[in-house]
A = this chain, B = another copy of it.
């Protein structure tokens, strides 16, 4: 998860006293933030460690003080950025009181606000792009993010079915109806949009709402009256 304040590109001895100590503790995080941004923007191979160090305001040598290699830095970026967010979400959705239509809408919008629109969204793009080069990372990501995410979605849909709001669904496949737009949106945002003017017409919030609307009404029982 990105630090609240971006690392200054150069910080020549500004603060007075116990600054050094605080900096020292913050170093790994600043480096990870810088690496996340650059990896997402340019890919793993095209990002030079010197760039990462510069963006974090330290020298190249310092980076290797905290991360034994570029590859380890990458793994740290992935691990750090996805630290246990699902327990929180699971709990949140468990006590949700509205109908399942509202829950799905709420879940998707929450995801956008907490992940999709933040720099953290870049790591999904990153992991998928570099999966071939780092199968281990991809596998790790699958277990730590994808599977919990699928479970979360499954529980939401199951709730709708159980409450009689959704028609009986093949949940094993239906879950992807919610996951797919999210993955698509991330890839789109980080790949096509930055360099293709015509791609920027896709407004993420409207996109999400539209997808949810289309998908939901296809999941509702036929008898459910349209709004």
Check if A201 sits within 8 Å of B184, measured CB to CB. Answer: no
Whether A41 sits at the interface, judged by CB under 8 Å, is yes
CA of A45 to CA of B214, assembled, Å: 39
The oligomer's copy count stands at 4
- Say yes or no for A53: interface residue by CB 8 A criterion: no
The CA-CA distance from A181 to B206 in the complex, in Å, is 17
Which of these, B41, B131, B174, contacts A195 with CB under 8 Å? B131
Alpha-carbon gap, A188 to B179, bound state (A): 11
Tell me which residues across on chain B come within 8 A of A185, comparing CB atoms.
Answer: 180
Whether A215 sits at the interface, judged by CB under 8 Å, is yes
| Number of residues of chain A lying within 8 A (CB) of chain B | 61
Complex interface: stretch among A11-19, A89-97, A216-224: A216-224
Most interface-central of A46, A147, A195, A222 (chain B CB within 10 A): A195
6 smallest CB-CB distances across A and B, nearest first, come from A218-B218, A45-B45, A135-B195, A129-B129, A180-B184, A131-B191
12 A-B interface contacts by CB (under 8 A): A43-B129, A46-B132, A125-B128, A131-B194, A132-B190, A138-B192, A138-B195, A143-B196, A146-B192, A179-B184, A183-B183, A183-B188
